[in-house]
Amino acid sequence: MLLHKGQKLLFIGDSITDCDRAKPAGEGLFGALGKGYVSIVDAMLQAVYPELGIRVVNQGISGNNVVDLQTRWQEDVLDHNPDWLSIMIGTNDVWRQYDTPFIKEWHVYADKYETTLRSLVERTKPKVGNLVLMTPFYLESNEQDAMRRTMDEYGAIVKKIAQETGTLFIDTQAAFNVVLKELYAATLAWDRVHPTQTGHVVLARAFLNKVGFEWNRS
């Protein structure tokens, strides 16, 4: 596995990362990591690699878009000195364009999204050894759906930045698409955005697979 003994792994993002985590710490006992994929990743790491002592920190905040991340980047990411950083952002950047279309101040369009995310990655690269970029996703199987198309566009931006900067890349939409072939979207998320436990397992598996997690390790 790519993670080594004693490393710190920090996740940042929006409500899908947050999931009611403890604030501001984002780590500790009693559900401090929230109820989502971050907590499942942590539990898998502790259960299967207890000897590694991987330290997982959750710095997701509900409602955040990429500009919000930029605002708190120094304090909530860099000051933590993580060895690994995983970023999943973009849901709200896109969603606001569709659920409150007339409040344009709340939208983050593709160019702004791209330049902001790229600047965060470039600023962080020299200081954090391992970066993971996860695409945002939309639990809608119809690829012609307007919001799905936009979300795919943002996903492509994430992919481009990952390739340019040589960071690990996770296509969460692709991971969900496998399940969406079998299950209707409402099974995974009533609002097509906030996943059930099943959806969070999809995210956690995608992450763990990317970092070489050995599922059958005993």
Annotated catalytic residue 119:
no
Q: What are phi and psi of 89, to 5 degrees?
A: -145, 155
Instruction: Using CB under 8 A, count the residues that bind a second copy.
Output: 54
Q: Tokens 């401090």 map to which residue? A: 32
Please tell me the distance from the alpha carbon of residue 202 to that of residue 199, in angstroms, as a whole number.
5
**Token reading at 49:** 């690699």
Q: Catalytic residue among 107, 119, 191, 200, which?
A: 191
Min dist CB 216 to a second copy, Å, is 6
The residue from 152, 167, 200, 207 that contacts a second copy (CB under 8 A) is: 200
How far apart are CB 77 and a second copy at their closest, in Å?
A: 17
Position 196 contacts a second copy (CB under 8 A): yes
Tell me how far apart the alpha carbons of residues 72 and 63 are, in angstroms, rounded to a whole number: 14
> Rounded to whole angstroms, what are the CA distances from 84 to 69, 81, 90, 101, 122?
17, 9, 20, 36, 15
Q: Which stretch binds a second copy (CB under 8 A): 10-18, 67-75, 84-92, 93-101?
A: 93-101
87: left (phi over 0), alpha (psi -120 to 50) or beta: beta
Active-site residue list: 15, 191, 194
Give the interface with a second copy as residue ranges (CB under 8 A).
6, 27-29, 31, 33, 35, 39-40, 42-44, 46-48, 50-51, 53-55, 95, 98-103, 142, 144-147, 178-179, 181-184, 186-187, 190-192, 196-202, 205, 215-216, 218
